Structure 1
Amino acid sequence: MFSGIVETTARVVDLKKEEGNLHITLSCPFADELKIDQSVAHNGVCLTVIAIQGDCYTVTAISETLLKSNLGELSIGDEINVERSMRADGMLDGHIVQGHVDTTATCTQVREADGSHYYRFEYEANDEQITVEKGSVTVNGVSLTVCNSRDNSFEVAIIPYTYEHTNFHNFRIGTRVNLEFDILGKYIAKLLKIYLNK
């Protein structure tokens, strides 16, 4: 489990396809602190460390992950938001994030406002993938507060620190991002669907 508080960014240094899988090697400041079989969130996707060498480590994304996320679009040199799994005795600074991406969204607007940045994202909505005003959503692994929520889109406001220390500073109109909707909202939506269809 994660909190959506990105620790740093890692840079893609190698990509290797093996049948339907993609092995991703990243250069990361905390690589020497990792262990084999450890879980790390990459743009919000929980992946397992399979190899470590110096300041680099490798994870594997399976075909299902590549279909549901933006990891299949990676290129050498790309910047990825990374977060190690949350300790049981740690503070929950963001919100409960599972590292299980629900879908992707497309950035449709970027605007500056008094030093901050607003981003609008559009996605293919369904009954279980919803945002609510002032609720939580995870965008590329970053825990954020929803504003201007619509049926298939929402905005988030990014403070300068988040802009500088995550890959948000690379987002442009057309950028595809990973979304994980709030787990509590998903359970409530599912229960309502079951109850109403009885």
Structure 2
Amino acid sequence: MFTGIIEALGTIRHLKPGPGGDLEIGVFSEQLDFSDVRLGDSIAVNGVCLTVTRLAGKTFYADVSVETIKHSLFATMVVGTKVNLEKALTLSTRLGGHIVSGHVDGVGEVTQRRSEGSAIRFAIAAPNSVMRYIAEKGSITVDGTSLTVNATTADHFWLNIVPHTASETVINGYKVGSRVHLEVDILARYIERLLHSEGGGQASDKGQLTDPKSNKPDSQTISKAFLATHGFLR
């Protein structure tokens, strides 16, 4: 697990395709503290949780599976690509961002970039399978960085990036057309699963609960009153 607070920037120094379609990568970083990194540890690379397979000075190596390649942008990376890095959190780590699993839910695309005061405002298009979990003022992970969503539409969300975040991550290099890894807030997935669980009925597209055995509408609907009764709201 991670927090979405980027610890260092790294540079892809090694890319070696495997015979089965997987990929070995080597990431160099002057900034990352390797003193407590061991083989088998997890490091998030642009938000993707990878396992350290070997260490060589300030470079760590990891294997990227075929499945991960299918759902990420590693296939498009080249030697020299800059990446965000974060080591897995510990029990003594400050949770400055939000809970991040390091499992990418989809790929988004930057469609707008403009200055807004000292900040940079980005618009990012996301697939429907991801947008359903993104809420205004909620959390989203972009290339491993925990960020707050400022606004949403049916297929876009907006971010305001302060100068410090821009300078300490790969975000400052984004331009229109840049593609990014997206991971939604894990709490949104658990709430959806709870509402669809067999024990609590299944939520229809209209928000009405149905009995999983009869498939007939239940007397309860998903509303503020329902959520308050079941402990989701105060």
TM-score, length basis structure 1: 0.95
1:15 alignment counterpart: 15
**Helix, strand or coil for the counterpart of 1:126?**
helix
> Does residue 56 in structure 1 map to residue 59 in structure 2?
yes
Q: In 2, are the aligned partners of 1:128 and 1:189 still within 8 Å (CA)? A: no
Point out which structure has higher relative CO (alpha carbons under 8 A, 6+ apart).
1
Q: In 1, are the aligned partners of 2:105 and 2:130 still within 8 Å (CA)? A: no
Tell me the distance in 2 between the aligned counterparts of 1:151 and 1:181.
Answer: 16
1:32 alignment counterpart: 34
**Helix, strand or coil for the counterpart of 2:152?**
coil
Tell me the distance in 1 between the aligned counterparts of 2:10 and 2:67.
Answer: 22
Q: Unpaired runs of 5+ in structure 2?
A: 205-211, 213-234
Tell me the distance in 1 between the aligned counterparts of 2:100 and 2:127.
Answer: 21
Deviation at 1:2, TM superposition (A): 0.3
**Helix, strand or coil for the counterpart of 1:88?**
coil
> Does residue 94 in structure 1 map to residue 97 in structure 2?
yes
Tell me the distance in 2 between the aligned counterparts of 1:109 and 1:84.
Answer: 30
Equivalent positions of 1:147-162 (< 5 A) are 147-162=150-165
Instruction: State the aligned residue count.
Output: 198
Tell me the distance in 2 between the aligned counterparts of 1:176 and 1:127.
Answer: 14
Tell me the distance in 1 between the aligned counterparts of 2:26 and 2:130.
Answer: 36
**Helix, strand or coil for the counterpart of 1:134?**
coil
Tell me the distance in 1 between the aligned counterparts of 2:196 and 2:125.
Answer: 23
Q: Unpaired runs of 5+ in structure 1?
A: none
- State the percentage of identical aligned residues: 33
The residue type equivalent to 2:143 in the other structure is: N
Tell me the distance in 1 between the aligned counterparts of 2:112 and 2:131.
Answer: 24
Equivalent positions of 1:1-198 (< 5 A) are 1-18=1-18, 19-29=20-30, 30=32, 32-33=34-35, 34-126=37-129, 129-194=132-197, 195-197=202-204, 198=212
Tell which structure's C-alpha radius of gyration is larger: 2
Tell me the distance in 2 between the aligned counterparts of 1:150 and 1:48.
Answer: 36
Tell me the distance in 2 between the aligned counterparts of 1:24 and 1:5.
Answer: 22
Q: In 2, are the aligned partners of 1:130 and 1:151 still within 8 Å (CA)? A: no
The residue type equivalent to 2:203 in the other structure is: L
Q: In 2, are the aligned partners of 1:107 and 1:176 still within 8 Å (CA)? A: yes
Q: In 2, are the aligned partners of 1:128 and 1:190 still within 8 Å (CA)? A: no
Tell me the distance in 2 between the aligned counterparts of 1:10 and 1:128.
Answer: 29
Tell me the distance in 1 between the aligned counterparts of 2:111 and 2:186.
Answer: 25
Residue 128 to residue 176, structure 1, CA distance change in 2 (3 Å):
closer
Q: In 1, are the aligned partners of 2:130 and 2:184 still within 8 Å (CA)? A: no
Deviation digits for residues 109-168 of structure 1 (CA, Å, limit 9, x no counterpart) = 111111110111111113884211100000000000001112221011111011111001
Deviation at 1:24, TM superposition (A): 0.7
2:229 alignment counterpart: none
Residue 140 to residue 127, structure 1, CA distance change in 2 (3 Å):
closer
**Helix, strand or coil for the counterpart of 2:134?**
coil
The residue type equivalent to 1:32 in the other structure is: F
Residue 8 to residue 182, structure 1, CA distance change in 2 (3 Å):
same
Q: Could you list the runs of 4 or more consecutive aligned residues of structure 1 that deviate by over 4 angstroms after TM superposition? A: none
